[in-house]
Amino acid sequence: MSRVLVIGIDSLAPGLLAKWEGDLPHFTGLRQQGTQAKMRSIFPVDSIPAWISLLSGLNPAQHGLIYSFDVFGSSWKDILGIDPDRFKGHTFFVDSG
């Protein structure tokens, strides 16, 4: 069985890791020993639909969650109020057996 570690840091531009590699030895080591891929985001380019797409393999039109969360103008009640029954599809890490 193969194992894959995906490290996702929301809104972190990969170029910043290269720029500050001397100050970030652990990230530098992971970058040097691992594999990197340049990827495009989905539309709408927003954290919630993008993470759901990454985890489910579906685009927002397929998974149905196109919620946009303004971290400066919304309260956590907004995001915690998302109904999980709205999700379509399954994430890759859910055991279906």
What is the Cα 59 distance to its own chain's centre?
Answer: 13
Q: What is the pTM of this model?
A: 0.62
Closest CA to 27 of 51, 7, 43: 7
What is the tens place of the pLDDT at every residue in 22-71? 999 998 898 888 877 777 888 878 888 888 888 888 888 888 777 776 66
- The 3-class SS string of 38-84 reads CCCCCCCCCHHHHHHHHHHCCCHHHHCCCCCCCCCCCCHHHHHCCCH
| Average pLDDT estimate for 72-94 | 68
Q: Taking a C-beta distance cutoff of 8 angstroms, is the pair 32, 59 a contact?
A: no
pLDDT at 97: 47
